[in-house]
Copies of this chain bind each other. A is one copy, B any other.
Amino acid sequence: MSNDVILGKTEYFPGISKISFEGTESKNVLAFRYYDENKVVAGKKMRDHFRFAAAYWHSFCNDGADPFGPGTRPMPWLNNSNPMQKAKDKLDAAFEFISKLGLPYYCFHDRDLAPEGKDVNESADNLKTLAVLALEKQKQSGVKLLWGTANVFSHPRYMNGAATNPDFSVVTHAAAQVKAALDATVYLGGENYVFWGGREGYFSLLNTNTKREIEHLATFLQKARDYGRKIGFKGTFLIEPKPMEPTKHQYDFDVATVVAFLNKYNLADDFKINIENNHATLAQHTFAHEIQLAADADLLGSLDINQGDPHNGWDTDEFMINIYDAVYAMLILLQNNGLGTGGMNFDAKLRRNSTDAEDLFIAHISSMDTLARGLLIADDILKNSKFLALRNTRYKSFDSGDGKRFEKGELSLEELKNLAVSLGEPAQISGKQEKFELLINQYIK
């Protein structure tokens, strides 16, 4: 990757230059203290562990509006009244930011990159136009596309769903958008393509045929997959679970639900799962739980990096800065050979009242450092502590003898019962949870 900062005609973040690594003693909030991209940890460069990506929508489109007020954030690249020129200015701002921060990847929705046109074809043309410019930026900067996606939830036509809309004509529009977004993703060398079904769910069971809607979703995804493969997409399709919001219930509720769906509809060879921390906690799970379940199913695809507030029941999309979350996630990733074609996308937004230009840098640096720190701690734990040994020992009775035969399915219920009689009352074995937890705190440095 180039170390150069990529500016357009205007410098949108003046006074902020390329962010560099200064080490843990630094108190500079515009420098990395842990993230040293070329440092090798567990046999891989830091940058290859994380494959960090900028989220186009939050960082370059989101002006701080919330349901109780309009935008607050100065975003001079959004000032031009011509939608296409605005899109080009935004592209300049995006690559300036990405290259100053040193992110190797970015992600976008079709409508982040280019404006909706007056009809299906103009919309597709707009996207193509911007994709040409984006490819140029990619080449200049060495930045790559982690994934593309289509926003089939914002436009009013999707108010009753996109692929699951009760009106077939809406489904065709969703298909048109996905086709164009897939075209752009392939053109830009995107390594993944994501589906987040923001409106694929229901507000009320009363007016909904859940069975028919879910089957429509499956058919839609099969057709999108077929088209993607036909045009040469070699990457991974991803589904991003979320339990609710904006819907009362979203069909892709959590990892377990999506695993079931992918298996049922023969999508598991092409699709994996894109897990977001705040979506996990809205579903009453931890981020680590969702990552582990996806890894267990060989369906761990990519991560959306953010965190929620444990007492606020909506998607607050805060920058992930909790060291524990980072350690738990990295422990699992290190044991599962990382993320494959996936990466870590900063699907996070500044608080509405964080309005200085530097705030966007500080927030990303803070989160990147948290993850880098999590990697270093997790690596230390796995290499230098008894963590794995303690856990493996708990299951050793299944590593040989009758336990192993049970695992292989060789013992009937009656044989198991007879073993209970002969083994007698089992000895009590502490779960040692507090010891495991103390150990994690020992390694947080």
Contact = CB atoms under 8 A, between A and B. Distances in A.
Contact of A417 (B176, B419, B428): B176
B198 A68 contact: yes
Contacts of A429: 160, 166-167, 355
15 contacts: A66-B67, A69-B156, A167-B394, A171-B403, A178-B413, A207-B432, A215-B407, A219-B409, A257-B257, A284-B311, A321-B441, A362-B438, A363-B434, A366-B434, A445-B445
A199 to B, nearest CB: 8
Contacts of A160: 353, 429, 431
A74 B430 CA distance: 11
B328 A205 contact: yes
A442 B406 contact: no
Interface stretch (A82-90, A131-139, A222-230): A222-230
Nearest to A392: B209
B172 A209 contact: no
A432 B359 contact: yes
Nearest to A425: B157
Given A413-B224, A421-B176, A434 B169 contact: no
A269 interface: no
B426 A359 contact: no
Q: Which 10 A-B pairs have the closest CB atoms?
A: A313-B313, A260-B260, A175-B416, A168-B403, A353-B431, A227-B413, A69-B154, A172-B420, A168-B397, A176-B420
B356 A430 contact: yes
Contacts of A323: 323, 441, 444
Nearest to A413: B227
A170 B402 CA distance: 12
B314 A313 contact: yes
Contacts of A444: 323, 444
Contact of A310 (B169, B310, B421, B424): B310
A285 interface: yes
Nearest to A328: B205
Given A223-B416, A416-B223, A426-B173, A435 B260 contact: no
Contacts of A246: 66-69, 352
Given A249-B285, A289-B205, A438-B362, A166 B395 contact: yes
B167 A426 contact: yes
Nearest to A310: B310
Please classify how large the interface on chain A is, using the bins under 10, 10 to 19, 20 to 34, 35 or more.
35 or more
Most central of A322, A352, A407 by chain B CB within 10 Å:
A352
Contacts of A108: none
Interface in A306-352: 309-314, 316, 319, 321-324, 328, 350-352
Contacts of A419: 169, 172, 175
Given A175-B413, A356-B432, A397-B167, A29 B438 contact: yes
Given A170-B426, A207-B433, 4 more contacts: A68-B153, A168-B406, A249-B311, A445-B445
Contact of A179 (B313, B413, B427): B413
Interface in A40-90: 64, 66-72, 74
A9 interface: no
Interface string A391-403: 1001101100011
A112 to B, nearest CB: 13
